[in-house]
Structure 1
Amino acid sequence: MSRINTEGVRQRPIPKPESAVEPEIKLTSNNDNLKNDDHPAGPVKHGPPMQYFRIACFAVFFSIAALAIHSAQLLGAPLYFYNKDYFYAWQAVCKQYFALVLITGTYLFAPTVIRISGDASVSGQLRQFPDGRLECDFPERLVLIANHQIYTDWTYLWWVSYTAACHGHIYIILKESLKYIPMIGPGMMFYNFIFMSRKWAKDQPRLKHRLQQLSTRHTGPVLGRKDKSGLDPAWLLIFPEGTNLSPNTRKSSARWSEKSGIPDMKHQLLPRSTGLHYCLEELKEGVDWLYDCTIAYEGVPRGSYGGQLYTLRSVYFQGRAPKSVNMHWRRFAIADIPLHSKEETEKWLLDRWREKDDLIESEEEKKHAQYIETEVRPKSAWEPLQLFAPLLSAYLLCNILIKLINLVLTGRLSST
């Protein structure tokens, strides 16, 4: 396994912010004008018959896996009334299994190149195995922020938590409507994901309750390996933009820019700091680091939107996954973030987003930057089979109980 040291960290310098001057923003997308061959991932690789076949295969794979995991979640639900520590440990295992579903599904149906770079703040924390797999030596407790380009951003970030062995302890802040998706929504509720309605009066008490749970000390089996404080592992994922980049959200960002007098971004939406400030204030006693990931997708034309180019259909069924997913990492000590003032926190976050915007804009830097090149995939072909372990265990346990009951009843009948 190769370790990237300080000298060899594949660093991409952050250019000095140029976004202080208000950029020219196109409020309409060029996606509809792109010819088939002009798509950044090239022409459609699978015709309609193969697409339908891939859809059927994906539906069978995902439905069986999701049903197995959700059944396992329900199977462990009674633990909540017996011992909450064991309940949360069980759900963490189920969360690991769902991460394996996402990783395996992406590996089989939407393989793509992942390029990982970082600045000096993450030096030595990025490793690559001889077989090409990535390992991130990130802390078990952190707050993770990222720009939001397309719907599958969270999939790639969840995969990163897998490379850090924390994929069972990730908590994502999502919009409330997602919890009403059949089976998936209730599953995410079991995972203690945080659903936001975008109305702070309603969201603040809910967020406070969830963050208090993440700050509660436990002595059960979910206890982290390295954390000595008694706090469970926890990765809290926040998209400060609140939603992904699209024509409608771009217009909203431009309106907010005009109203507030804050120059808009060229490749992102203006971030909102209220939720992040609150989370950092609540967690600062038990979390030391904030990790920042800049995500960019190769070849997205200026004025277009990755979310429209890389739809679920395009990525998983047409064979047009991103040419490469580029992820640039850096970290900040939460103690150094100006949380004493909401205004200062907002300015700090806006400065970081300017740096992200200039990093995405800087094509020459992207071309010549050094990076780890890898892919989203499980450790082995057999690892995804683990997701059926809870159901198999339940079946074996029920089978043993039935046999014991039969033996008892048979013994009583014979004695009479």
Structure 2
Amino acid sequence: MASVIAGMLIIIYYLLTSLCGTVIFMSPAFIFMLCSPKLFRWWNDLMYWWWSAFITGIYEVFFDTKVFVTGDLPQDPKERCIIIMNHRTRQDWLLFWAVSHRYFAVENIKIILRGDLKYVPGVGWGMQMLNFIFLKRKWEKDRIVFSRTLDYFNDIDYPAKIIIFPEGTNYEEISALRGYKYANIHGLQQYEYCLHPRVTGFAFLVSKLREKRLDAVYDVTVAYPKTMPQSEMTLLKGNIPEELHYQIKRYDNSELPEDQEELGEWCKKRWAEKEDRLRQFYTVDKTFDGNNTPDTTGKFKFILATLFWILIVPISMYLTYYNTILRYHVIIVSSLYFICGYMRGLEVISIDWYYYWYGKKKRN
């Protein structure tokens, strides 16, 4: 019973803090977007850093989730890179913030996600403001989204670290059955611990970033040896992961093939290695590289962020209820998020405005 209550509290606070963060703390970015694109980017990244520290803190501080990281740990926070990862659960991108905060400069992390997530009040609004990349799973349209967003990051000299899940969906019973059928049709090895990757988007991503600068590709393998948070519903049932295990392998840009077709084959080879690595993990070792020491770096900032957001939610709700000005602010800003989201999305509008603003400044 206690674990169920804990799971419910995680979901409730996840939703409430995302609403509070976007409507109250991120809202100044609307003004910054109009007058200073650089300030717009900086403010949103700051809010992203602070809120994602809270999400990490919920697991590590309150529920003592242990994080194990091994392999090639990033050394340069300004590095421009692509992070490829197996997609074991729907929570992978969120839980990876525990590693991003420690080693990848989480404020520069941009995640490629399915398009419908942008419409979720609170968290979806925040992801739009952060210029996450939303896909419609139709390559003709997704190619345009990829290209325009990456051009924007290149033009503003932004050290983006882009997470892509080449499998396209998380590993579960239905997707695994589809994976078996796909492997049979194409005469491929049957995978039991991951899905065969879709490589078109990855190859295009590498090629596009190389036009300006790409430092490396990080191949991340994630595993959950005990409780697996397959979805939000599993959290509601109190299934909170005790351990998160990550193995990281860095490939310098110079090590990658030049041709897009060869890049696709390179990605497929990494997944074949990942399948073997995961089989060894789940059937024998329950650890990567024999690492049995949890990573506790940065714990203090997670504690501070957690305490801040736990306190700020009831304070914000109280002030919104009793303060007319704040109440109107919440209504107006929420309406703006809804309108902009269904028009084109703030991630698109902010890029359009940047080019308009920059072009106007050059003409003057």
Q: TM-score, normalised by structure 1?
A: 0.67
Q: Per the alignment, do residues 113 and 58 of structure 1 end up closer, same or farther by CA in structure 2, a change over 3 Å counting?
A: closer
Match of 2:171 in 1: 245
Q: Quick check: 1:331 aligned with 2:257?
A: no
Q: Which runs of 5+ in 2 are unaligned?
A: 327-364
Once residues 120 and 137 of structure 2 are traced to their aligned partners in structure 1, the CA distance between those partners, rounded to angstroms, is 18
Pairing of 1:314-393 with structure 2 (within 5 A)? 314-315=234-235, 318=238, 320-342=239-261, 344-362=262-280, 363-366=283-286, 369-371=289-291, 372-374=293-295, 378-380=299-301, 381-384=303-306
- What is the root-mean-square deviation in Å for CA atoms of aligned residues? 2.9
Secondary structure of 2:176 counterpart: helix
- Cα displacement (A) at 1:53: 4.1
- Cα displacement (A) at 1:143: 0.8
Q: Percent identity?
A: 23
Q: Quick check: 1:209 aligned with 2:162?
A: no
Once residues 35 and 69 of structure 2 are traced to their aligned partners in structure 1, the CA distance between those partners, rounded to angstroms, is 43
Match of 2:224 in 1: 297
Contact 2:58-2:306 within 8 A present in 1 as well: no
Match of 2:215 in 1: 288
Structure 1 residues 252-261 or 136-145, which shifts more?
Answer: 136-145
Q: Deviations over 1:10-57 (max 9, x none)?
A: xxxxxxxxxxxxxxxxxxxxxxxxxxxxxxxxxxxxx2xx35643564
Once residues 233 and 260 of structure 2 are traced to their aligned partners in structure 1, the CA distance between those partners, rounded to angstroms, is 44
The one of 13, 17, 26 aligned to 1:61: 13
Once residues 121 and 173 of structure 2 are traced to their aligned partners in structure 1, the CA distance between those partners, rounded to angstroms, is 28
- Cα displacement (A) at 1:78: 1.3
Secondary structure of 1:335 counterpart: helix
- Cα displacement (A) at 1:111: 3.1
Contact 2:4-2:236 within 8 A present in 1 as well: no
| Greater radius of gyration (CA) | 1
Q: Quick check: 1:199 aligned with 2:126?
A: no
Match of 1:278 in 2: 204
The one of 126, 131, 135 aligned to 1:187: 126
Match of 1:312 in 2: 232
Once residues 44 and 288 of structure 2 are traced to their aligned partners in structure 1, the CA distance between those partners, rounded to angstroms, is 43
Q: Per the alignment, do residues 59 and 353 of structure 1 end up closer, same or farther by CA in structure 2, a change over 3 Å counting?
A: closer
Pairing of 1:41-52 with structure 2 (within 5 A)? 47=1, 50=2
Once residues 57 and 367 of structure 1 are traced to their aligned partners in structure 2, the CA distance between those partners, rounded to angstroms, is 30
Name the count of aligned residue pairs. Answer: 309
Deviation above 6 Å: which 4+ runs of structure 1? none
Secondary structure of 1:374 counterpart: coil
Contact 1:110-1:315 within 8 A present in 2 as well: no
Q: Per the alignment, do residues 324 and 256 of structure 1 end up closer, same or farther by CA in structure 2, a change over 3 Å counting?
A: same
- Equivalent residue letter for 1:382: L
Once residues 154 and 21 of structure 2 are traced to their aligned partners in structure 1, the CA distance between those partners, rounded to angstroms, is 26
Match of 2:330 in 1: none
Q: Deviations over 1:245-298 (max 9, x none)?
A: 011111222222222222232210000110010110011231211111111111
Q: TM-score, normalised by structure 2?
A: 0.76
Once residues 232 and 375 of structure 1 are traced to their aligned partners in structure 2, the CA distance between those partners, rounded to angstroms, is 29
Q: Deviations over 1:191-242 (max 9, x none)?
A: 100011110011111111111112123xxxxxxxxxxxxx222210001101
